[in-house]
Structure 1
Amino acid sequence: MKIVVIGGSGLIGRQLVSDLAHRGHEVVAASPSRGVDSVTGTGLASAVAGAQVVVDVSNPPSFADDEVLTFFRTSATNIATAAREAGVAHIVVLSIVGTDRLQVSGYFRGKQAQESAYAQSGVASTIVRATQFFEFLSAIADGYTRDGIAHLPTFALQPVAAADVAAALTDVALSRPVNGIIEIAGPERAPVIEFVGTWLGHREDPRAIVADEKAGYFGAPANDRTLVPGDGARLLPTRFEAWLAAQPIGEPA
């Protein structure tokens, strides 16, 4: 089966391409660096020609609110159009747990627009909402650091290993579309400060850490429900301790 991975050169995309290839499928890793631009539409038609499944794990080059929204809306519309014209049977979309609850965030508004574009495309689809990745903990720490001190939130997080996300997307891509949303998450839930603090300790990072109960999620209000999955979520296997043990001491993910 031919499967096209939009964003195939990124963190999740690279692992997904490898996983699908190991399962014996013809995989096209589509990205601007490989001549496929989902925003301009360049190379899309030829990339999806003959494909049965398209998986979108793309990300915008800029995280400015307006540019994020334009990227996700335009990209999803173009991919869906190309997929529909090529007779693609299933589009799989990687999104984020909490997308509908964090619309004050420009990035999450962009993801909501992306989800809507696919849901209304006329092509059978599955939206996979994942929790934050373990690999994103460094960025979280840096985003909350001021004057050498990490002012970390205390709301709950249930992060997941990127490799587990790629494996879950592989299974979804090889299954029938659900025409709805699947949530996936890691097996453990704890305050942001616990996950990030442990990660900084593993890196032997010298910055001080303080708890900030009023801190939201990068400027957006957040609580213990905002970024964690519902009761029906698929919990993936890798525990934080096991993931941490595989990371080089003193180096970022």
Structure 2
Amino acid sequence: MTRMSRSSGFDVLADEAAGRLVSERPDVIVEATGRFTTSRRRATDFFTRSTAVVGAAAERSGARHVLLSILNCTRPEVQGYGYFAGKTAQERAAVADGRDATIVRSTQWFEFAAQNLERMRVGPVAFVPGMTIAPVALAAVATVIAEVATGHRTEPVVEVAGPESMSLWAMTTALPHPGVAPVPLPIPGRTGRAFRDGALLPEPEVEVVGPAFREWLAAARR
């Protein structure tokens, strides 16, 4: 199995990346690339180029392609957020022309709160967008991906979420010693309302995996 990540070898998605993946003779390629940006153009360019590389490598090697994506990123009301627009384009590219790709969508990981503080930091403060989500443990998502990769799950699309709904603000203020002062940041317009009002929350049929956020925090402190 080969996992494509943002390591130095693939950070720029060089033309030889597909050849390097093929040379490893993978059975499965798990695509979990990422680039933080709110620009639709940059996100779409990055994610579609990533999937073009992986798709080509999968076809040449006969490997299965597993794409990690975000739950509800394809909903129309969140396309105003460039990152989600890029992920939507990536999903379409993964299955274009009849390609056989499995898409695993998860809600935001527990680490998202701390990552947001780093990305949105301005001096001694960090802005926290208004979002309502059902965060999930990365380890639980990784287990699901492993089950897909090993053939224990065979659905073309697998969706998972954490066990509880909460705001990003609640997650952030629960973090011990964040090292920066969080400041609420209302997102204007349709996208902001969608984020706040639950567009990122799972539908009732979505599978719930992993522990609750505060259980995860308590375990991390031990």
Pair in the same fold by TM > 0.5: yes
2:116 and 2:177 mapped to 1: Cα distance? 14
What's the secondary structure of 2:136's corresponding residue? coil
1:224 aligns to 2:215 (yes or no)? no
Structure-to-structure mapping, 1:73-152, within 5 angstroms: 73-88=48-63, 90-101=64-75, 102-141=78-117, 152=128
Whether contact under 8 Å (1:157, 1:192) holds in the other structure is yes
- Aligned pair partner of 2:21 in 41, 44, 47: 47
TM-score by length of 2: 0.81
Q: Quick check: 2:134–2:166 contact (8 Å CA) kept in 1?
A: yes
Q: CA RMSD in A?
A: 3.0
Q: CA deviation at 1:168?
A: 1.4
**2:209 counterpart residue number:** 236
| Amino acid in structure 2 at the alignment position of 1:72 | F
The AA in structure 2 aligned to 1:182 is: V
> What's 1:165 paired with?
141
Equivalent of residue 186 in structure 1, options 158, 162, 166: 162
Amino acid at match of 1:44: A
Give the match for residue 2 of structure 2. 4
Of the structure 1 ranges 42-51 and 147-156, higher mean CA displacement relative to structure 2 is found in 147-156
Q: CA deviation at 1:82?
A: 2.0
Q: How do residues 6-45 of structure 1 correspond to structure 2 at under 5 angstroms?
A: 6-7=4-5, 31=7, 33=8, 35-36=9-10, 39-45=13-19
Q: Structure 2 unaligned runs (5+)?
A: none
TM score, norm. by length of structure 1: 0.72
What code does the residue aligned with 1:232 have? E
* CA distance 1:154–1:37, change in 2 (3 Å): closer
Change (3 A) 1:93 1:187: same
Percent identity reads 29
Report the count of equivalent residues: 215
Which ranges of structure 1 fall in alignment gaps of 5 or more residues?
11-30
